[in-house]
């Protein structure tokens, strides 16, 4: 999926928000904003949104000297979600269709996305995801694939959200018998994306038969090597960013909440829609 003109002002907003996360220095905020604006004006926009976003956040980290501007809010939302875990687990166990309920909750957790906004209603997202119809519903195909017992490649998205992912994976293990789960995280911090430290903090590493894969230099999401891994596993991908990077890969099941008009237009669904879509 390519970037649209609507994405450009969003990148500028991200840069300023990240600058404020990285430092209290107003001079640095202006310097970062000007540098990002200049870079955006000079570059070719015929790229994926994730590619441009990576460049923008690289500028923020370089100028501010802060390698992880979102470190505080990542821990904050990991802690918030962990406090909700037992209640969410009870909702899944008491439901008539645990897999569908766990998928809905995992999608609700996708609202924790600082690349889109620093303000979101997590409780409201949970209520909405449990009550509304899927905007795109490939649940029957996902369940059929889960029955096969294939190894699962689970591409994680955001901190906080991964607590909801943990519940989904535990529910899958209680209902099906995948040979192994490979959990994909970022090799280094980008916005509030999940890193290995975040995943371990919320207990993902305690899930049986699970191994981690770190994407970054040498193993980019859009590389041929990574796509080969995707095609050889039952792949579940969380979040808009992963959809933007991998939307053309037909074998992936994408789980996310639609939070921007560019993605809404691409999918031909409404804003706020919950999506379980096979690529």
Residues 115 and 151 in one domain: yes
> What domain count does the chain have?
2
**Listed range (30-44, 154-168, 193-207, 221-235) with the worst mean pLDDT:** 221-235
* Distances 263 to 7, 15, 18, 216, 260 between C-alpha atoms, Å: 10, 20, 22, 24, 6
Same domain, 207 and 270: yes
172-182 average pLDDT score = 91
Domain match, 127 and 18 both: no
pLDDT of res. 273:
93
Maximum C-alpha span of the chain: 56
pLDDT 10s digits, 236-272: 999 998 999 888 888 899 999 999 999 999 999 999 9
Locate 21 and state its tokens: 């996360």
Question: Do 37 and 157 fall into the same domain?
Answer: no
Least confident of 18-22, 42-46, 63-67, 247-251: 247-251
Query: Residues 258, 269: contact at Cβ < 8 Å?
Result: yes
Task: Show which of 43, 64, 85 is a domain's final residue.
Answer: 64
Run of H or E residues at 213: strand 210-215
43 and 119 in a single domain? The answer is: no
Integer CA distances (angstroms), 120 to 22, 33, 116, 123, 251, in order: 20, 24, 10, 9, 31
Q: At what angle do helices 98-109 and 122-131 cross, to 10 degrees?
A: 150
Determine the pLDDT at residue 177: 87
pLDDT tens across 102-117, in order? 999 999 999 998 888 7
Neighbours of 65 (CB within 10 A): 9
Nearest CA to 152 out of 183, 181, 185, 184 is that of 181
* 177: its two tokens: 């018998």
Domain stops at, among 64, 84, 104: 64
Query: What is the C-alpha to C-alpha distance for residues 43 and 203, in angstroms, rounded to an integer?
Result: 40
The two three-digit tokens of residue 93, written as one number: 């166990």
Distance from C-alpha of 192 to C-alpha of 161, rounded to nearest angstrom: 10
More confident residue, 41 or 179: 41
> Tens digits of per-residue pLDDT, 131-168?
999 999 999 999 999 999 899 999 999 999 999 999 99
Q: What is the pTM of this model?
A: 0.93
Question: Mapping DSSP to helix (H, G, I), strand (E, B) and coil, where does residue 136 land?
Answer: strand
pLDDT tens, position by position, 26-39: 999 999 999 999 99
Look at strands 274-278 and 252-257 and give their pairing. antiparallel
Domain hosting 9: range is: 5-64
Please check whether residues 142 and 244 belong to one and the same domain.
yes
Look at residue 3 in the predicted model and tell me its pLDDT. 87
Model confidence at 57, pLDDT cuts 50, 70, 90, reads very high
Q: How confident is the model at residue 228 (pLDDT cuts 50, 70, 90)?
A: confident
- The first and second tokens of residue 125, run together, are 């997202």
Let me know whether 105 and 51 are in one domain: no
- For residues 56 and 159, state if they share a domain: no
Least Cα distance to 219 among 211, 235, 230 occurs for: 230
Whether residue 92 sits in one domain with residue 34: no
In the three-class reduction of DSSP (H, G, I as helix; E, B as strand; rest coil), residue 247 is classed as coil
Q: Are residues 57 and 95 in the same domain?
A: no
Domain boundary among 38, 64, 90: 64
Contact 248, 279 (CB under 8 A): yes
Q: Tell me the pLDDT of the chain averaged across its residues.
A: 93
């Amino acid at each position: 999926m390519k970037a649209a003109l609507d994405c450009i002002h969003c990148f500028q907003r991200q840069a300023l928000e990240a600058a404020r996360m990285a430092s209290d220095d107003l001079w640095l905020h202006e310097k970062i904003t000007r540098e990002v604006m200049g870079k955006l004006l000079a570059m070719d926009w015929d790229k994926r949104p994730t590619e441009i976003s990576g460049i923008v956040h690289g500028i923020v980290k370089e100028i501010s000297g802060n390698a992880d501007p979102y470190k505080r809010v990542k821990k904050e939302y990991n802690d918030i979600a962990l406090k909700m875990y037992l209640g969410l687990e009870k909702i899944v166990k008491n439901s008539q269709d645990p897999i569908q309920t766990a998928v809905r909750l995992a999608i609700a957790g996708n609202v924790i996305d600082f690349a889109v906004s620093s303000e979101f209603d997590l409780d409201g997202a949970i209520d909405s995801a449990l009550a509304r119809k899927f905007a795109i519903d490939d649940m029957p195909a996902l369940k059929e694939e889960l029955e096969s017992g294939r190894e699962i490649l689970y591409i994680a998205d955001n901190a906080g959200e991964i607590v909801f992912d943990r519940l989904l994976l535990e529910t899958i293990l209680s209902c099906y018998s995948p040979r192994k789960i490979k959990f994909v995280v970022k090799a280094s911090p980008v916005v509030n994306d999940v890193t290995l430290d975040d995943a371990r903090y919320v207990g993902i590493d305690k899930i049986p038969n699970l191994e981690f894969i770190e994407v970054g230099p040498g193993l980019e999401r859009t590389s041929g090597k990574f796509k080969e891994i995707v095609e050889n596993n039952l792949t579940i991908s969380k979040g808009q960013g992963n959809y933007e990077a991998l939307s053309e890969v037909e074998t992936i099941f994408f789980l996310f909440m639609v939070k921007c008009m560019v993605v809404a237009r691409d999918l031909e669904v409404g804003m706020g829609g919950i999506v379980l879509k096979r690529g």
